Structure formats: C-alpha cells, structure tokens
Amino acid sequence: MDRVIGVIGGSGVYEIDGLQSPDWVTVDSPFGAPSDACLVGHLDGVKMAFLPRHGRGHVHSPSSVPYRANIDALKRLGVTDVISVSACGSFRDQMAPGDFVIVDQFIDRTFAREKSFFGPGLVAHVSVAHPTCPRLGAVCARAAREAGINVHEGGTYLAMEGPQFSSQAESRLYREVWGCDVIGMTNMPEAKLAREAELCYASVAMITDYDSWHPDHGTVDITDIITTLTGNAGKARALLGSLPSLLGPHTPCPHGCDHALDHAILTAPDKRDPDMVAKLSAIAGRVLG
C-alpha cells in the first residue's frame, strides 16, 4: 500500500502550495455529500488529498460539517494519514496567538453531531484513549519547527458545539478546573471517526486568540481572529509542504491506528444488517470482508 496523505483544512486554509497536477475530485459517500470536492494531486511524489472542512467559501458551520461523509470520502480515495488543520483559542499564556499546538487529547462537549459510523445492526466500539497518532503528530511537530513555527507538542483540546464562542464562566471552567489547553469547534467527532476508519490522525491546532478568560485580552474579537488566521494559513501551508519527505514510504502504524477495528465489532456475522455492511464497505471493509 502506498502512503496517501489527507489534509482537512480548517478556517483560512483552502489550498496546498506546490501540489502537482491538482484536480478537484467529487467523491460519492453513503453518508451524504462531503463538505466539498477533494483537491487531489502529488507533492514530492506522494499522493495528497485536500478537503476544505467548511467547503470553499466557508458554507458549513461547525455543527453542519458532514464529518462522517468527509472521513468516508478520504478513505475511499485511499488516504492512510489524515492531518487536521484548525483554528483554536488558547487557555495558556505560553500558547500565544500565532503558535501551533499538536493536540494529543480531547474533551468532547459537542452534542448535535453524528459521532460514529456504526449503530443498530452493526455495533462496534473502538478505543480513543489516545485519539491521535503519536508518530504522525511528531512528524507534524518537526515540520512546524523546520518552517520556523513556534509549536507546542501535546495539549488537550476542548471541543465545543458552537457556533458561539465561550462565556467567561465556561472559559474559566475549561482552563482552571478541567485543565484544557486549547478550545475549538471541529476536531470532534472528526478524530473519533478517523479512528473508526483506521486512519492515522494528527491535529494541528493554530491559535488565533485567548478565548475569553484572559484578563488582558477581554472577549474574543472576530476581526482579530481573521487577522491572525491569515498569518497562520501561510505557516500551515509551509508545514504541509514538507510532510511527504518527512513521512517517507508507507509502513504499518506502530501504534495500531490502522488496525483499530481488529476486535471492535461485536455484532455476530449472521446478525449484521446487510445494508449497514454495504454502507461501511470503505470504512470497515478490511474486517467485514
């Protein structure tokens, strides 16, 4: 199997620099239409597929993003490694606007989204104790450093429903009581779905603001966020551009991301819903036969 890098671009990131023979490819998914077509091409000889999470022109809110269709579409394109790029707020003085954080943990506070490919007729439980791929995250951190980005390795991401930003009371709760490092609206259920799809997943969180807890920065200002987003987008493209050479040839994931379903499906073979089996042909075809 060849390595195929999938990039889910968040706010402000709508392209990959230097992509050769780029082509917008529409992928049909049994989970509905993805956010947009995927921009597919090659970079340094490695196939890459770029999917704008909010769609070109930013037409999807965090709650309306078709997360299942997006992950399913990337899987159908042969993607092996997913890099999620997203904007976030910071709960830490040392994690300043313009810095990047390689997230390794999540607290999921979303409530209006489909969070699994599985369900009645085909039940499965995967572990998300360690929801990101350490190997892929380490490569992203190295790429960030080589691009001159101030990057923090490791951090807990509070996933909120949105689209509103936090109240001060919420911001202080997440920071002081729950010990979160950054806050965003889009990495959940994306990370959970990537694990169900047996994809290595890394989260690159680009800090735009200090949320609303910081005494010297007041409330979140969307104008300031957009200004910081513009600078972050250029940094993100530099990071993405070096990933093919840093990742090298495809090898099995040493952390087992690519075998997450080995013991996850509980429904007996003779009780499995045929329609569900067909629907999950890309996501779970390896274990469903």
209 is catalytic: yes
Annotated catalytic residue within 44, 211, 224, 270: 211
Q: What CA–CA distances, in Å, run from 2 to 60, 95, 146, 172, 262? A: 32, 36, 25, 45, 21
Indicate the burial class of 238 (C-beta count within 10 angstroms; 0-12, 13-18, 19 or more): middle
Let me know if 216 is a catalytic residue. Answer: no
**Residue 2 burial class via C-beta count within 10 angstroms: exposed 0-12, middle 13-18, buried 19 and up:** exposed
Backbone angles phi, psi at 124, to 5 degrees: -145, 150
Distance in angstroms (rounded) separating the CA atoms of residues 270 and 272: 6
H-assigned helices in 165-242: 168-172, 190-196, 222-241
Active site residue: 209, 216, 262, 275, which one? 209
Known catalytic residues are 209, 211
